[in-house]
Amino acid sequence: MPLLETLAHSLEYSAAVAPMIPNPGPIRPPGLGGFDTIISWAKWIGYALAGVALIIVAIRMFFNARRGEGGEHLGALGWILGGVILIGGGVGLVTTLMGG
């Protein structure tokens, strides 16, 4: 039981110390005004490329459906949509961390 007592003591100590730790908000470093522009362009380019990739996959599915192979491109479609999710999540994370 000493392990449980030690764990309980650690949790009590953590609960007492946690409110004392400062949690400052994100502050943008000076000189990073152009960084927002770069992030915006990267997001726009990423979404544009994902849109083009979706169109290419759709065209490939259209032509291969005549031969009965249209379903093989669903994996590519999943990867593209996963990339779109990563772009959106990455931009949101960077924007939040940069205080935007």
Examine the pLDDT at 87 and tell me if it is beyond 80.
yes
Q: What is the pTM of this model?
A: 0.55
pLDDT tens-digit map of 26-71:
666 677 777 777 878 888 888 888 888 888 888 888 777 777 766 6
In the chain, the percentage of residues whose pLDDT exceeds 70 is 81
Cβ–Cβ < 8 Å for 71, 37 = no
Residue 76 CB partners (closer than 8 Å, separation 6+): 53, 57, 60
Q: How many CA within 13 A on the CB side of residue 47?
A: 10
1 three-class SS:
coil
- What is the pLDDT confidence band of residue 1, given thresholds at 50, 70 and 90? low
Cβ–Cβ < 8 Å for 73, 60 = yes
Residue 83 CB partners (closer than 8 Å, separation 6+): 46, 50, 53
Measuring CA to CA, which residue among 78, 87, 100 is closest to residue 34?
A: 100
Ranges of each domain in the chain: 34-100
